[in-house]
Amino acid sequence: MKDYSNWEPILDYENESPYLKNPNRPWLKHRPDYIPKSIKFEPIPVHEYLKRAFTKCPNNVCVHYKPNDKKYTYRELNYISGKIANVLYEAGVRKGDGVGIMSSSCPEFLFCILGILEIGAILVPINPLLKEADVTHILKDSGIINTLFVHKKNFRIINRVRKEVNIKKVILIGTEEAKPDTITLQEFIHENAPKHPEVDIDPRNNIATLLYTGGTTGLPKGVMLTHNNIVACSLSSLNGLKDPDVELEEVMGKNTVLTVLPICHSFGFQILISSLALASMLIMFDSFNANEVLKAIEFYKPSLFIGVPVMFQMLVNSPDFTERDLSSLESAISGSAALSPELNNRWDDIAKFKVGQGFGLTETSAISHMRPTWLPKIIPESIGIPIIDTDVKIVNPDTLEELPSGETGELLIKGPQVMKGYWKRPEENVKTIIDEWLRTGDLARMDDDGYFYIEGRIKDIIKYKGYKVMPKEVEKKLCEHPAVLEVGVVSAPDPNIGETIKAYIALKPEYREKISTHDIIEWSKGKMAAYKYPRQVEFVNILPRTSIGKIFRRKLRERAVKKILF
């Protein structure tokens, strides 16, 4: 087995990245001298990449699990994950086999991740919020999972799924009491030594994790991420955020990270990997509680907070938001979508800075764009600029011809973090990755300074009487109405013109029963172009969201269709 004890990445400050098609990309002019132009490294398995932290900071607290106030050091992480790796290997799990985990964020999840990766098996996280049909689909579609770690809270759904899918071994975590035909994690590893099996892994080609997409437009697809994809993304994002006078090695073991994003999701997974690479102390929650998170920010004093819009909404609306000391925060990033201007302004009033955006997809190991503090200006609506070793272009979706700055087109991404492909979908891979460029299906634009902006999804475009209407643009304007709390805009069937524009709106509590859908439509007429304002408005108590907090447009479109049919 290869020895990685002397492994180090090479930061290249002289030569431009080989992934850049055009060395004159406008965002490069902002890059300071202390940010490398490219990062070269010998391909390394994820667990070996992380072991540098275990070696240098063995006695540092790795994770502080808030629900039971339990702490584990990096030495303990290495010890327990080694036991899991050993017992899995002895049980016959080999390189390329799939091992699933269905759980909310918890220390056992973390231990299992490392144990699974160490034997070259493929990690398959399953979101604990998924329904039975989606879980069944993932297990059947992957076809490689015979061993499954399941939190006790999710046992019932797995017990039902096992009637349709054969899973040989189910290991319960978060409990000391086994259920029928299961074994607890403690029983599973009890008499095994923390022996690290010797497995040769090809980081460039071997799959580290099979992450299933959210399925907002259909059934979830398995995204194959190699060890190299994950490590490259971590190195590029960490080195792109560093301070001018401090190397990453100097901050190892000195960071505190609030783990509020679910580990089962690609963004939360990548934040976890990068945090472990710096030997950070993870403050881990099993679910998001705004009051507890605000309390943790005051106590642990992190400098960065990363969340999704629904989390920021809950924080701002918490009574504790104005009472807690948030002065340690220097920046905050909203993943998956931007905050509404009103919400961002309320955050700014207390935290004294605007929340910016980051961007990425499961297909890019979660990150392609970030908003480093060294950018000359912070634009809340912008997703920032591409990370190191990442090229991006905006093209005409029909011809793939590159468009000039300012024009909206499809976002294409090229870099070492781009996935190996979709699991068992060769035809879709040919359509999605063209000459190493990933077609994202996202509509975006780039301004003259190289800042990028997401305008929506190609599939979400509403075609109203020959005009193309972007839901995001209509939503942004509707959020300016004082009565609107949140809104989702989709196409709705229209028997005369094919489709029309419909807005689903959740009102602020003080406006309920005091404003009509007609009032909203009339207000919109004066604020938007004649072809953009919503022709239909429906009030809802709450908008459907995906497991990571995005507005679930497919559910809204289905609702609009049912309204017409029934």
| Nearby residues of 482 by Cβ (< 8 Å), 6 or more positions away | 508, 511
Predicted pLDDT of residue 566: 47
Does position 339 have pLDDT exceeding 80, yes or no?
Answer: no
Nearest to 88 by CA among 53, 137, 123: 123
444: region left, alpha or beta (phi > 0 left; psi from -120 to 50 alpha): beta
Predicted pLDDT of residue 218: 61
Burial of 116-142, coded b for 16+ CB within 10 Å and e otherwise, reads bbbbbbbbbbbbbebeeebbbbbbebb
Average pLDDT over residues 64-74: 96
Nearest to 343 by CA among 380, 316, 318: 316
Tokens 């990445």 locate to: 9
For residue 168, the 8-state DSSP code is S
Predicted pLDDT of residue 548: 65
In angstroms, the Cα distances linking 455 to 82, 298, 308, 391, 444 are 45, 35, 17, 19, 5
- Rounded CA separation 129/107 (Å): 18
Is 268 within 8 Å of 261 (Cβ atoms)?
A: yes
Q: What tokens were used for 126? A: 């399953």
Average pLDDT over residues 155-176: 95
- Give 148's strand partners: 100, 170
Does position 553 have pLDDT exceeding 90, yes or no?
Answer: no
Predicted pLDDT of residue 456: 84
Q: What tokens were used for 244? A: 């001018």
Q: What is the mean pLDDT of the chain?
A: 93
- Rounded CA separation 130/168 (Å): 21
Burial of 66-104, coded b for 16+ CB within 10 Å and e otherwise, reads beeeeebbbebbbbbbbbbbbbbbeeebebebbbbbbbb
Average pLDDT over residues 376-395: 94
Q: Looking at the domain 461-565, which fold is it? A: GMP Synthetase; Chain A, domain 3 (3.30.300)
| pLDDT tens digit sequence for 22-57 | 999 999 999 999 999 999 999 999 999 999 999 999
Q: What are phi and psi of 77, to 5 degrees?
A: -60, -45
401, amino acid identity: E
Average pLDDT over residues 403-414: 97
Average pLDDT over residues 452-460: 89
- Rounded CA separation 373/452 (Å): 16
- Rounded CA separation 203/44 (Å): 6
In angstroms, the Cα distances linking 243 to 16, 238, 248 are 20, 10, 9
Rank 85-89, 379-383, 548-552 by mean pLDDT and report only the highest: 85-89
- Give 183's strand partners: 171
- Return the SS3 of 78: helix
Least confident among 33-37, 60-64, 472-476: 472-476
Instruction: Let me know how many helices (H) and strands (E) the chain has, helices first.
Output: 16, 29
Predicted pLDDT of residue 564: 59
For the chain, the domains span 10-35+52-287+358-445, 461-565
Domain 10-35+52-287+358-445 indexed as CATH 3.40.50.12780:
yes
- Rounded CA separation 386/380 (Å): 16
- Rounded CA separation 202/519 (Å): 61
Predicted pLDDT of residue 32: 97
Is 395 within 8 Å of 410 (Cβ atoms)?
A: yes
SS3 letters across 412-458: EEECCCCCCEECCCHHHHHHHEECCEEEEEEEEEECCCCCEEEEEEH
For residue 404, the 8-state DSSP code is P
Average pLDDT over residues 540-563: 84
Average pLDDT over residues 202-220: 84
Angle at 274 between CA 271 and CA 279, to 5 degrees: 120
Helix runs in 91-131, H state only: 107-118
| pLDDT tens digit sequence for 275-292 | 999 999 999 999 999 999
Q: What is the number of other CB atoms lying within 10 angstroms of the CB of residue 227?
A: 25
Predicted pLDDT of residue 325: 96
- Rounded CA separation 44/230 (Å): 10
Give percent of the chain above pLDDT 70. 98
Residue 114 or residue 549, greater confidence: 114
Q: How many CA atoms lie within 13 A of 76 on its CB side?
A: 13
